[in-house]
Structure 1
Amino acid sequence: MIKIILGIGIIVILFLFLMHRENHHLTVSKYKLHSDKLPKEFDHAKVVFLTDLHNNTFGRNNEHLLRRIRNEHPDYIMITGDMLIGHKKADYYETLDFLKTLSEEFPIYYVNGNHEQKLSEGEETKDTIYKEYHDILVANGIHFVHNKTLKIKRDDAIIHVTGLEIASEYYHKFNRPEMKDEYIKECIGICDSKTYTILLAHNPMYFDYYAKWGADLALAGHVHGGIMRLPFLGGLISPQYILFPQYDGGRYEQNSSTMLLSRGLGVHTLKIRIFNRPEMIVFTLHRN
Structure 2
Amino acid sequence: MNRRSFLKKMVASTVALLGSGGGTYYYAREIEPSMLTIHQEQIKSHKLSNNFNSFTIAQFSDTHLGFHYTLDQLTDLIKILNSQQPDVVVFTGDLVDAPNQFNWNDKLIQILSDINAPYGKFWIYGNHDHGGYGTDIVKETMDRSGFTLLKNTNATIKKNDDSIVLVGLDDVMLGNPNIEHGMQHVSPENLTILLVHEPDYADLVKNYEVDVQLSGHSHGGQIQIPFIGHVYTPILAEKYVEGNYSIGNTPLQLYVSRGIGTTRLPYRFLCKPEITIFTLTN
Class of the TM-score when normalised by the shorter of the 2 chains? 0.7 to 0.9
> Once the two structures are aligned, what percentage of the paired residues are identical?
24
Report deviation, 1:49. 0.6
**TM-aligned CA distance change 1:189 to 1:230, over 3 Å:** farther
For residues 236-264 of structure 1, what are the alpha-carbon distances to aligned partners after superposition, in whole Å with 9 as ceiling and x for unaligned?
2112398xx32110011123321110001
Q: Does 1:284 align with 2:259?
A: no
Aligned to 1:199, the other structure's residue is in SS state: strand
Aligned to 1:81, the other structure's residue is in SS state: coil
**101-110 or 270-279: which moved more?**
101-110
The alignment yields a C-alpha RMSD, in angstroms, of 3.0
AA of the residue aligned to 1:53 = T
Aligned to 1:185, the other structure's residue is in SS state: helix
Q: What is aligned with 1:261? A: 256
Q: What is aligned with 1:81? A: 93
Q: What is aligned with 1:240? A: 235
Q: TM-score, with normalisation over the residues of structure 1?
A: 0.79
For residues 59-84 of structure 1, what are the alpha-carbon distances to aligned partners after superposition, in whole Å with 9 as ceiling and x for unaligned?
83634312321221111111111121
**TM-aligned CA distance change 1:77 to 1:31, over 3 Å:** same
**89-98 or 193-202: which moved more?**
89-98
Q: Which runs of 5+ in 2 are unaligned?
A: 1-17
**TM-aligned CA distance change 1:88 to 1:23, over 3 Å:** same
Q: 1:104 and 1:258 mapped to 2: Cα distance?
A: 24
For residues 210-242 of structure 1, what are the alpha-carbon distances to aligned partners after superposition, in whole Å with 9 as ceiling and x for unaligned?
121221110000011012223455322112398
Q: Which runs of 5+ in 1 are unaligned?
A: 1-7, 172-178
Q: 1:97 and 1:27 mapped to 2: Cα distance?
A: 24
Q: 1:190 and 1:118 mapped to 2: Cα distance?
A: 31
Report deviation, 1:191. 5.1
**TM-aligned CA distance change 1:235 to 1:106, over 3 Å:** farther
Q: What is aligned with 1:110? A: 123
Q: 2:116 and 2:83 mapped to 1: Cα distance?
A: 16
Q: Does 1:71 align with 2:94?
A: no
The number of equivalent residue pairs is 260
Matches within 5 A, 1:112-127: 112-119=125-132, 122=133, 125-126=134-135
Report deviation, 1:156. 1.8
Q: 1:239 and 1:216 mapped to 2: Cα distance?
A: 25
Q: What is aligned with 2:50? A: 40
Q: Is the 8 Å Cα contact of residues 199 and 215 (structure 2) preserved in structure 1?
A: yes
Q: What is aligned with 2:110? A: 97
Match 1:147 to one of 147, 152, 167 = 152
For residues 120-174 of structure 1, what are the alpha-carbon distances to aligned partners after superposition, in whole Å with 9 as ceiling and x for unaligned?
xx3xx55xxx33x422432342111111011111112111101011443589xxx
Q: Is the 8 Å Cα contact of residues 22 and 274 (structure 1) preserved in structure 2?
A: yes
Match 1:160 to one of 160, 165, 169 = 165
AA of the residue aligned to 1:250 = G
Q: Is the 8 Å Cα contact of residues 32 and 283 (structure 1) preserved in structure 2?
A: yes
Q: Is the 8 Å Cα contact of residues 37 and 194 (structure 1) preserved in structure 2?
A: yes
